[in-house]
Structure 1
Amino acid sequence: MFDYYHQLAAGPSYQDSLKVLEADIQHANMLAASIPQGKSGACLQMKLVYHHLAPILLFLLQWMDCSCTCLLPSYLRLFHIIVYKVHPDGKLNVSSCGRRATIREFYAVILPSLQHLSGNSSELDITREEGSCFEMFVRKKLENKRKILDVDLEREDECGICLEPCTKMVVPNCCHAMCINCYHNWNARSESCPFCRGSLKRVNSGDLWVLTCGSDVVDPQSLLTEDMLRFRLYINNLPRDIPDALFLMYYEYLL
């Protein structure tokens, strides 16, 4: 996403750069609105805000006929993006919950995160629609085989040597699985696999494969929830956007 930022800064004119930036912000707002919301139902929205000196710089760029594009990266620093919450009733909460993000942060983190979250939520919705047709049919079969599967899963999680439930480690040479304690024990005793007597001399602990079980696999809904939590934590850690009016009121209070 840094390529978008450099293309924006090296645009043919500041007007084209602003149009591209505003279009990307509108696209980000559409992605944010399509993401499933939390309990409050508020969604994140963004808008472009410029510094009070930005109009003067824009006038100078127009007067210079935009011939010096090398000033655009520094000119873009006069602009920032406000991330705020929009409640289901349409009320905005910009002053208290607004967060300030730079153009670089928008293209490096915010926009890619929204694209990732929107894509995952869309794929999850499609998977749910496809799976709803077979849900009742599969549920009956799973209920009939649940007892047998539970016994088989307990046996699969057991080590074939010590019969203890554990995470199995697979030897890459012969593909036999055992717990890490049994591996170290047999490697120290005979440097051979206890099942096939294959040599373990050149097999290090880092070469072992980890055999995952059903409990180790995270479902897409949990992954989407974790990604959304990380994104919201990132937004909350951005600096607050305090309007200039609040500074003036505090300054008058000190006087």
Structure 2
Amino acid sequence: MMDNYYYHQLASCPSYRDSLKVLEVDIQFANMLAASIPRDKGGACLRMELGYNDMAYILSFLLQWINFPCSCLLQTCLSFCYVIVHKVSIVLPDGRPKLTSLGRKASIREFYDVILPSLKRLRTNPLELDVSEGDIQAFGTIPKKKIEKRTNNSDVDMEREDECGICLEPCTKMVLPNCCHAMCINCYHDWNMRSVSCPFCRGSLKRVNSGDLWVLPCMGDVVDQKTVSKEDKKRFYNFINKLPKDIPDAVFLVYNDYLI
């Protein structure tokens, strides 16, 4: 179902032409978001434009002639319009973009439900920067050996953070809700049966049940933002590739003439 915000925004337009202007503004905004997303290895990015069916011009003329509000025939009006998604490579010397393939055709509903929200989410995610070793040395940053040493030290610190403070075993910690001290589930059951108190602060555990414990995830259980951004980007491009191709109407006209 189309987003209610955009649905009411288009429905509030006084005419069919005004609704198309709103669509064009949203498409330009989507192009700006697509241009800010890190490009693939070929340097290509996505570019969208508004496409019209032949019936769209006839319907636009009829709506202007009878002066009928667009809100009553919103779904009918938008069904004759679609968004063409092109894969654009580096801009040519004359300023025109170079299209690498046929465009993909997306409906207005797919644009507002999938494409625009995906571009917003990819835009808010941190950019993936590919920094080479030469660039690091050129900026006079820390040498590679020191970086590896710090990385090894940080890995040791992360392993220590995942250890239980009582048995020193790597585990998923349970946090007590009253004092916020963390330990493994085995140590919790042991101290709960032994003294019904927290081993760190001796706080009472009489009213604390197993279902009241908080789970503190380990570092390996947390997915980093870069991986999430990469998966979202892959899922978005797979959706674009599955859209139907925008075949020019001239091909169908020639085929119809051949049948006649």
TM range (shorter): 0.7 to 0.9
Q: 2:107 aligns with which of 99, 102, 111?
A: 102
Q: CA deviation at 1:251?
A: 8.4
Structure 2 segments unaligned to the other structure (5+ residues): 93-97, 130-135
User: Per the alignment, do residues 167 and 68 of structure 1 end up closer, same or farther by CA in structure 2, a change over 3 Å counting?
Assistant: closer
- Is residue 86–residue 99 contact of structure 2 (8 Å, CA) maintained in 1? no
1:36 and 1:121 in contact (8 A); partners too: no
CA contact (8 A) 1:2 1:107 kept: no
Q: Does 1:200 align with 2:205?
A: yes
| 3-state SS in 2 of match to 1:164 | coil
Q: Indicate conservation of the 8 Å contact 2:48/2:83, yes or no.
A: yes
Higher helix share: 1
Secondary structure in 2 aligned to 1:160? coil
Instruction: Identify the residue that residue 99 of structure 2 maps to in structure 1.
Output: 91
Secondary structure of the 2:125 match is: helix
Instruction: Specify the SS of the correspondent of 2:208.
Output: coil
The separation in 1 between residues aligned to 2:254 and 2:192, in whole angstroms, is 74
Closer, same or farther: CA 252–203 of 1 in aligned 2, 3 Å: farther
Say which of 31, 43, 46 aligns to 2:45: 43
| Partners of 1:206 and 1:76 in 2: CA distance | 51
Shift of the 231–173 alpha-carbon distance from structure 1 to 2, 3 Å rule, reads: same
Partner in structure 2 of residue 79 of structure 1: 81
Unaligned stretches of 5+ residues in structure 1: 126-131
| Aligned-pair Cα RMSD in Å | 3.8
8 Å contact from structure 1 (residues 5, 107) kept in 2: no
- Identity score, percent: 63
Q: Which residue is equivalent to 1:9? A: 11
Structure 1: distance between partners of 2:125 and 2:69: 43
Cα separation, partners in 2 of 1:75 and 1:174, compared to 1, 3 Å: same
Counterparts of 1:249 and 1:187, CA distance in 2: 82
Specify whether residues 107 and 197 from structure 1 end up closer, same or farther in structure 2 by C-alpha distance, changes over 3 A only.
Answer: same
The answer to whether residue 164 in structure 2 is matched with residue 162 in structure 1 is no
The AA in structure 2 aligned to 1:172 is P
Structure-2 change in CA distance of 1:239 and 1:197 (3 Å): farther
Residues 64, 234 of structure 1: alpha-carbon distance in 2 compared, 3 angstrom cutoff: same
TM-score (norm 2): 0.73
Cα deviation, residue 197, structure 1: 4.7
- In the TM superposition, what is the alpha-carbon distance from 1:254 to its structure 2 partner? 10
